[in-house]
Each structure stands twice: as structure tokens, then as C-alpha cells.
A and B are shown apart, each in its own frame.
Chain A
Amino acid sequence: MIDPKKDLLYRLADDQLILGHRNSEWNGLGPILEEDIAFSSMAQDKLGHALQLYSLLHELGEAEPDTVAFTRNAGQFHCCQLVELPIGDYAFSLMRHFLFDHAELLRFEALTASSYEPLAQVARKLKGELKYHVLHANTWIRQLGTSTDEAIEKLQAALDLTLPYALALFEKTEAEPAIIAEGIFIGEDALRQQWLENISRVLSQTALELPDVTTISPVEGGRHGVHTEFLQPLLDEMAEVFRLDPTADW
């Protein structure tokens, strides 16, 4: 049985790394320059978060952060499938960012009370940054979600598409009972409930309709190493230079 701390850390770190990587792909492509810049800032934050979380794993005996991030294959990743999907159009990336970061903010707020003190410390730092990510997402969802029919249609389509993946953010692993019992984290069910309340509140201020989540099957598997066809090519690209000379210091 895997150490519950490591189980949780891998899920958290892999989510941050992969979404950070995806967000960075918006360089040069944003609908306005300010969004190029914003997505880059969030990407940098997420990479920084991933690095801190992989560093905790390293303290628990796992390999160096660079090795862990740049040399595993898709089957060894524990990110949810939501983060690995290609950036799509801006509506898709914005909606993914909205759904993901609302969950992240709540997750790291809860983790500030973790019994695993090193993680609680990291969470106290991260939640301050995540607050701005959520503020950014809310601002845009409210703006565009109350604007033209065209924008509302695109965002609604993005919401319908991303929601089944977003619900799998809360996929549990075998370590879940131990994680809760040891006071490391409040658990996925508690988080999901708060998340639904928060996203519903923002969406209710727009023309967007949140589909009935009780009728949707979450697209799970990511937490157990089952991924979309998009993850391995992303990892190959990420490691392209790193693998040219594994003995090198870059």
C-alpha cells in the first residue's frame, strides 16, 4: 500500500505540472495580449506549485523533482484527465481554468489544516496565489457569460464538455480512507460539495446553465494512471531536450 501522503502529493503535483504546461501553450495565441500574460503568470505559478510539491515528495524519498517530472511516462502520472486535454479554444481553456482553480483553492485552503505539517505550510503559501487565479477566472466567466450570444454559446459548449472531466477531479484512490483518518486532508467528497456550491454561485450570475451533475458520469481513471491519448505526446514534448543528454546539467 502506497504511503497516503505520497499518494496525495502525486495527484496534487501532477495536476499542477500538466495544467501549468497547458496554460503556457497560450503564449502568442491569446485573444488579447493581457490574456497571454495572465495565462503565462498562472502557468508559472502552477509550475512553481508543482516544484514545491515534488520537493515534498523528494523529502519523503522519491527522486529529484526534475527526474520525477521529466522522465516518467503517462501510465505513471496521477493527474486528472481534465488537465491533460489540449488547450482548445479560449472558451475551453477559460472554463477548464474556472472549474479547476475553484477546486484547487478549496483544496489548498483545507490543506492548511493538514496534520502533515510540511504540506500545510506549502498550502498556506499557495492558497494566496490561487485566490488570484480564481478571481481571474470569475471575472472572465462573469464578463463573457453576460455578453454576446456568441460568447455565451461558446462558454456553454465548453462547460458541457469540461464538466464530466472536472467531476473526476474528485476521483478517489485506495488511500482515501487513510488520508482522511490521519487528518492529512478532508477528503474528496467534502471538497466536491463545496466546489459545486462555489461554481454554481458564479455561474448563476451569468447566462450559463450548470448541467444537472447527478446525471453526469465523471471521466475517471487519471488518478490511477489511465489517461487520454493527449498525455504521452505532451510528456514527450516536455522531455525532448532533457532526454538529449541525460547526463547533462542544463
Chain B
Amino acid sequence: MYGSVSTHDIPAQASTGLENEDPQLLAEFEARIARGEKIEPDDYMPALYRKQLIRMIEQHAHSEIIGSLPEGTWITRAPGFRRKMAQMAKVQDEVGHAQLLYSAAETLGKSREEMLTDLITGKSKYSNVFNYPTPTWADSNVISWLIDAGAIVNQMANARGSYGPYCRALERICAEESFHLKYGHDAVVHMATGTPVQRRMMQEALNRWWPPIMTFFGPADKASQHTEILMRWKVKMASNDDCRQQFLDMYVPKILEIGLTIPDPNLRKNEETGKWEYTEPDWEELRRVINGDGPCNQERLAVRRAAEENGAWVRRALQAKRQAPKAVRPLA
């Protein structure tokens, strides 16, 4: 599950470094992308392309493992066999996506261990939306439906990008996410059309999640030299605003259809422009939460850090075996 964290953490005026690239190789590279060819790990690629892709795929992978936590806490409390098993399978898929994505990023030269270290030290980011709490079962359902829906919008766009391993990972991921969407929708519909207790829980959860959903795709893109290059190289495939509009087009009617209300009095589709209008999201809050000051940032990273620390002996043991494959006693 991944939205745009932001492509803006490289200052717009920073050097692209393109003056250091071989002009002929660079021209061939751009021509291949323009023809719709995929770039593979051993192919030439500009340093900026490699750097941006590592950052993007890594952030996506982190979003999957951190994203498994808010829903994961409801596995042990999911009501009934059917939900309990489905919730486990859904969350397991997210961890599987992280596994796929870390390996796609590793093809660009950064190891999984390095990426996980950067995650727990706060050096690299993950999707901001997972820094919000899931106080009830209904919150978990809202994530399964609407956050996964948002992620699909974003990932379907990125699956048409230029880097082969990332695109292929995204295709597999989107296929699984579409099941999550059905699962989430089914769970939300059950609650939204259920008993008064369930209906109230679901409406309250949607009210809590609407603002984070609106910021999920990131702020409106600023025109910059970077954005232009990244779009030309098919690293960035759709603008944050386009993704947000597409999401609203697809899901606002579905939310209203099941009797829920959306907590934004200004939300409406402008029939002339064909665009959704809405209360401007609190971008200052988004910036604050991305930079570590959200309701659950510390908790999410603490869980990840504890997992890394508690499991270190296992990884050391595996590493030792790889380096010195000797059994204490013969295996047979």
C-alpha cells in the first residue's frame, strides 16, 4: 500500500548531475524509454535515475511493512473465523509485497539490510498514512478498502513506468491489492449496513480517516526541473493531483451508496471543470507527520526497531552459516 510520499525532498534547485553522464548513452537511454522499452538492472542508467528509483522503491517497501502494523494489530481481535483468516492473509500479502519490493530495489545496488537500517533510523520515509492510529476494527476495514484503493490508483500508474523489476513487482502487487479491495469493501459494507453499533463505528472510522486519505497522494506537484525529468524517464507516472481526482471519481459514489457520509462539506464535483473540489487538506500537518511528529510515528518505528534487534541473532546465525558452512555433526 503506497501513496506518494513526495518527490519534493530533493530541492528543486539541486543539481541533476546530468552533466556527468555520457551524452550518447544518455540519449540512447531516453530513446529506449520513449519507445516504451523497460530498463533492466544491468543496463546503463543515469545516476539520478538509479538514485530516484532506489528512494521510491525503498519507500514503497517500507510502506508495506509499516503498513502491515495498523491492520496487523486487529488480526488477534478480528471477529469470527472468516474475518480472522482473511485479515491474516491480507496483512501477510503486504509483508510479501515488501519482500518483492526490497528485492527490486536491491537490483539497483542497495541491500535490504541497509534499507531496513535507514528505515529504523528515520533516514528513509514510508507512506505517511500509517502514522495514524486504528482505534477500532472499523478503522482497519477503512484502510483495507480505501487506502488499498488509493494505493491501486498510484501503483497502476507506476506499473507503466520504465524500470522492469519495479513494474513487474507492481503488476503482481496490484493483482493482490485488488483482492484486498474486495475484502475491505465487503467488511465495510457489512458494518455500514449492520446494527446501529456497527454503523456508528464505521462512520466514526471514516471521519477519522478522511483527512489522511486526502493527503495520501501527497501535495500538488510543484513544477520543477526534477519533476519534468522524472516524468520523461517514466519514474513518476502521474501527478499527485491526478491520482487524487481519479480516486475521488471512483470512490466517492461508492462511499455514499452504502449510506456513509463524507466529513467535508465542501466536497463536490464541479460539472464544468469535471474536477472534484474539496476543503484544502492541511499540508502543514502532512509535513509535520512526514517529518516524524505524527500520532504513531514513534510507535511504528519502535515496533520495527524491536523486531530488528530481537531478530539480529537469527540473521547473524544465517550469515555465519553462509560464510563457514560447517555442521557440528554430520547431517546424515
Which A residues lie at the B interface, using CB under 8 A? 21, 24-25, 27-37, 40-41, 43-44, 47-48, 50-51, 65-66, 69-70, 89-90, 142-144, 146-148, 150-152, 154, 204-207, 234, 237-238, 240-242, 244-245, 247-250
Contacts and interface: CB of A to CB of B under 8 A. Distances in A.
B174 to A, nearest CB: 19
Given A28-B65, A205-B331, A47 B88 contact: yes
Interface string B304-315: 101100111111
A241 B328 contact: no
B91 A240 contact: no
B99 A37 contact: yes
A147 B326 CA distance: 8
14 contacts: A27-B88, A27-B91, A29-B310, A31-B314, A33-B99, A37-B96, A44-B92, A66-B80, A66-B81, A70-B79, A70-B80, A151-B314, A245-B197, A248-B197
Given A28-B304, A31-B311, A249-B194, 5 more contacts: A25-B75, A29-B310, A32-B318, A245-B195, A250-B83
A69 B81 contact: yes
B77 A237 contact: yes
Contacts of B76: 21, 24-25, 234, 237-238
Contacts of B303: 28-29
B317 A143 contact: yes
* The 7 nearest A-B residue pairs measured at CB: A31-B311, A31-B314, A147-B317, A151-B317, A250-B79, A40-B92, A27-B72
B331 to A, nearest CB: 5
A132 to B, nearest CB: 15
B98 interface: yes
A249 B186 CA distance: 12
A248 B89 CA distance: 23
A27 to B, nearest CB: 4
A170 B248 CA distance: 58
Interface string B115-146: 00000000000000000000001000000000
B80 A242 contact: yes
A41 B314 contact: no
Given A28-B69, A47-B81, A245-B197, A146 B95 contact: no
Nearest to A150: B313
B195 A248 contact: yes
